[in-house]
Structure 1
Amino acid sequence: MSEAAGRVAPTRPAGRREQAKALKRGRILAAAQRRLASQGYEGMTMAQVAHDADVAIGTVFQYAATKPELLMMVAADRWSDAIPALIAQARDTDDPVEIILTLLSPLAQESARAPEVTMAIAREILFGVDGPHRREVVALVAQLEEAIAGVLTSHGAGAAAGTASTAARLIVSGGLIELNRTRTGLADGDPVEHRLRAMVELALAGARAGV
């Protein structure tokens, strides 16, 4: 083996590059979160986020190729810890309705805090163009659906596996649609939490009946 071949390639520069990328990503994410909180999704621009993060706009596009993908980047960051934690927390009660409402609570909380942004997130989950950050969010939503299906087959619900999976998808999709109706003014005057509860109770009754 030659001396050159026997050398170990240095890793420190690569580590510094990864650290620099992580710092830029963090600044972009924080800037997007601030703009969403202050201006909403429609008011936010990629140029504003780049300015606030102190990076070139091309750098923002490297981390999120489109404005919807930037929104999904923010949603994935918010939900990546919250949803697994809620799935674990939901095991502490035996009431299937309360368990499912606990699992849906990120949607209700987001709607109360920022209805316009939540509507945009719901729209992108349901109808958006595929992208890496949207795939992260869709995977988290799939975890919710799987957890809800598990509740529907246990905890006194007794739904068959196929029926439970279908009902879980309907519950999550219905919850996202309710968020959209809240923003567009098509919903009635009840708080979104009440409408989610009514939807869950109806879906649970149907799953138990095998509908």
Structure 2
Amino acid sequence: MAGAGQGSPGPRERNRQERSARIQGAARDLFSAQGYAATTTQQIADRAGLPIATLFRYARSKAELLILVTNDSFDASVRQGISAAAGHAEPEAACRALLAPVVRAGLSAPELTGHYQRELTFGATDDPGRAAGLRIVAELTGEL
């Protein structure tokens, strides 16, 4: 018999994961479609089909939502760059290969990128999403 924490999650955890995915998907869609500034947390809750109070159990603010939905794509860009840089012996070429995916991703959504960077730099110090984003930055800079 599997011990606690092993195997598939129970119904409560599955529901929590499903609500989190709905919230993050709604935030990602709305941020992409209408921009960060024009998106409200109420719109995100409505798109996710959840009460606003439920949304705030998953993220305390719109800024935390932005960090949650952006960390994965930022991490993917950093990992792609690290992998590409490994194929270059010359430092300049390695640096270009490392940063190219991150720059491309940032240029594809400049408004969101600017807000994300501000939140990573100046956001709430107790935000676990911010801490995760800063770990991604540390991985990026540690590979140089």
Q: Structure 1 residue 77: deviation in Å?
A: 2.1
Matches within 5 A, 1:174-185: none
Correspondent of 1:104 among 90, 99, 102: 99
Aligned-partner Cα distance in 2 for 1:98–1:43 = 39
Tell me the residue number matched to 2:77. 82
Normalising by structure 1, we get a TM-score of 0.60
Q: Structure 1 residue 107: deviation in Å?
A: 3.5
Higher Rg:
1
Query: Which of the two has greater helix per residue?
Result: 1
Structure 2 segments unaligned to the other structure (5+ residues): none
**SS in structure 2 of the partner of residue 43 of structure 1:** coil
Matches within 5 A, 1:1-211: 15-130=10-125, 131-148=127-144
**SS in structure 1 of the partner of residue 35 of structure 2:** helix
Stretches (4+) displaced over 4 A: none
Distance 1:35-1:119 versus aligned 2 partners, 3 A rule: same
Aligned-partner Cα distance in 1 for 2:40–2:33 = 12
Q: Structure 1 residue 106: deviation in Å?
A: 4.0
Distance 1:59-1:106 versus aligned 2 partners, 3 A rule: farther
Counterpart amino acid of residue 136 in structure 2: L
Aligned-partner Cα distance in 2 for 1:57–1:93 = 49
Normalising by structure 2, we get a TM-score of 0.86
| Percent sequence identity over aligned pairs | 32
C-alpha contact 1:107 1:118 (8 A) present in aligned 2: no
Structure 1 segments unaligned to the other structure (5+ residues): 1-7, 149-211
Q: Structure 1 residue 89: deviation in Å?
A: 2.8
- The Cα RMSD (Å) is 2.3
